[in-house]
Amino acid sequence: MAVHRVARTEDIPENTHLIVEVDNRSIGVYNVKGQYYAIHNRCPHQGAELCKGTRCGTTLDSEVYQFIYGRDQEIVRCPWHGWEFDIKTGRSLFNEKIRTRSYPVLVEDGFIGIVLAH
């Protein structure tokens, strides 16, 4: 296991993200309401660079004909086909088994570190 420091906390203000290269992997590092999350910059569908997609919220579970908007800034939509992924877990919203890899993040001494298993 290794912690790769990829940015200073002030480099990724709230509700922004950064795409970084670590160990030949492209990873999106997101600040969601002050918490940092890292996901593989690759859509499991056709391999698009997922983290170039729009960041958004979505409609939550509801009754028929009811629309409840929520999870603002917690979702990234693939730039190609619009699949939604939960930034916090990497899981797609239509099937939790369809996911992009999610990496643990450690914040220490003002640095954001991504934890990779080796």
Binding site for other proteins (CB under 8 A): 45, 58-68, 81-84, 92-95
The 3 state secondary structure assigned to 24-75 is: CEEEEEEEECCEEEEEECCCCCCCCCHHHCCEEEEECCCCCCCCCEEEEEEE
Q: Which is nearer to other proteins, 24 or 62 (CB)?
A: 62
For the bound state, the minimum distance from the C-beta of residue 17 to other proteins, rounded and expressed in Å, comes to: 21
- Return d(Cα 62, Cα 94) in angstroms, integer: 15
User: What single letter denotes the amino acid at residue 87?
Assistant: I
For the bound state, the minimum distance from the C-beta of residue 82 to other proteins, rounded and expressed in Å, comes to: 4
Token reading at 70: 């929520």
Token reading at 50: 């997922």
Q: Which is nearer to other proteins, 68 or 107 (CB)?
A: 68
Q: Which is nearer to other proteins, 39 or 105 (CB)?
A: 39
Q: Which is nearer to other proteins, 33 or 67 (CB)?
A: 67
For the bound state, the minimum distance from the C-beta of residue 83 to other proteins, rounded and expressed in Å, comes to: 5
- Cβ-in-10-Å burial (0-12, 13-18, 19+) of 118 comes to exposed
For the bound state, the minimum distance from the C-beta of residue 26 to other proteins, rounded and expressed in Å, comes to: 22
